[in-house]
């Protein structure tokens, strides 16, 4: 294997039209390292699902902003860090009925979270109140 680390940073608007290019970029990086094509498709699917969920949620709440994807791939692991600046809503101030409706709407994303956890070795989420959401996906190779 090549000892070189491949990195890529992409910043894009919260719009699903960018997903095609991002999938292609992830697949190309994976293929350049010569790793398993099957694992590359699964990792690409996990990253795509994460981004699609962020975009869907932001668009559903009429929030705008950018998403930054940082990818780091070397001989031991693939790491994607997704920073979401779409100002997702903070549920701490919601009334009970609003919170129940919000949680009911989020159930459609549970399969995506399941998929990410099945494919990736690590899935870590951090919310920075009033600033951004960070999602880190790691797959050891």
Q: pLDDT 10s digit of each residue in the chain, 141 long?
A: 456 888 999 999 888 999 999 999 999 999 999 999 999 999 999 999 999 988 887 766 666 788 999 999 999 999 999 998 775 544 444 455 554 555 555 555 567 888 899 999 999 988 877 667 889 999 999
Parse the chain into domains and list their residue ranges.
6-140
How many C-beta neighbours within 10 Å does residue 2 have?
10
1, 78, 107, 109, 114 from 70: Cα distances, Å = 22, 11, 27, 22, 22
CATH number at 6-140:
3.30.565.10
The 3-state secondary structure of 52-86, one letter per residue? HHHHHHHHHCCCCCEEEEEEEECCCEEEEEEEECC
Measure the CA–CA gap between 119 and 137, rounded to whole angstroms: 10
């Amino acid at each position: 294997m090549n000892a070189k680390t491949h990195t890529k940073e992409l910043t894009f608007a919260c719009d699903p039209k960018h997903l095609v290019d991002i999938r292609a970029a992830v697949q190309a990086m994976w293929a350049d390292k010569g790793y398993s094509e099957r694992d590359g498709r699964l990792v690409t699917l996990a990253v795509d699902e994460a981004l699609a969920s962020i975009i869907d949620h932001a668009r559903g709440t009429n929030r705008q902003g950018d998403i930054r994807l940082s990818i780091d791939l070397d001989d031991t692991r693939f790491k994607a860090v997704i920073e979401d600046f779409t100002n997702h809503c903070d549920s701490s101030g919601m009334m009970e009925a609003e919170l129940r409706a919000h949680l009911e709407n989020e159930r459609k994303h549970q399969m995506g979270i399941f998929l990410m956890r099945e494919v990736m070795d690590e899935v870590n989420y951090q919310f920075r109140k009033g600033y951004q959401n960070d999602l880190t996906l790691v797959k050891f190779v």
